[in-house]
Amino acid sequence: MPEADIATDDFEARVAAIGSAEVAVGIPTFNDARTIEAIVGAVAAGLDELGDTKAVIIHADAGSTDATVLRARGSANLPSKFLQWQAGTDTNPARYTAATPSSAALRAVFDVARRLGVKACAVVDAGALGLTPKWIPRLIEPVRMGQADFVTANYVRPPFAGAITSGIAYPMVRALFGKRVRHPMARDFAGSAGFLDYHLRQDLWTAELPPFGAQLRLTTDTLAAGFRVAE
């Protein structure tokens, strides 16, 4: 099973220096140089809407071979609390062991957010060009206010877009769990501290999953565990 290397000493030092945060937003990436600057900017602006809330952005890269890492780091108007983790940049024993680099990146987001003691952690898709700053409080606030443990995005799409989701995944999840989660494979979601703790203990990270498989597994495991879910 391949292993994703832990963060560099500089990353660990930055985590220690930040110490704690109330909310976090994770941005897992892989060759997203075309979109990452816009995504980081939208996330930073969205966190500004939360006022004085102590927040951190966690950029976890799964080993991009393009300019994703440099463009994320150099994005304009970054808040001071910006953490950047890269798979394969250190030879120390792996902290974020996973079957795939993408799973390792997501696990890194969850682990760091938990170490910082956040009440709510959102994750956004680095390729979501439609993401706006308002997405961030809409994902985070229901969790931070104790109204839900898991908030998943409900996208507005054309009638015949996303046929697999609307025709297969959504009806299957509704039939199995009795919950209406219209986009169970959504890459934009938020979870509570309990949600993070639960999933860090599961075997999601070591499973060989197809594209979007991790998102679907995350949703179904959350529903099976009885967490409060909102859209």
pLDDT tens figures, 107-131: 899 999 999 999 999 999 998 778 8
Q: What is the pLDDT of residue 128?
A: 78
Q: What is the pTM of this model?
A: 0.86
Contact call for residues 152 and 186 (beta carbons, < 8 A): yes
Measuring CA to CA, which residue among 83, 79, 67 is closest to residue 35? Answer: 67
Q: What is the pLDDT of residue 100?
A: 74
Query: pLDDT class for 7, splitting at 50, 70, 90?
Result: very low
Dist CA 105 CA 26 (whole Å): 9
Dist CA 48 CA 138 (whole Å): 13
The helix/strand/coil state of 190 is: strand
The region that residue 166 occupies, defined by phi over 0 for left and psi between -120 and 50 for alpha, beta otherwise, is alpha
Structure tokens at 174: 């509704």
Compute the C-alpha angle 99/162/200, nearest 5°.
30
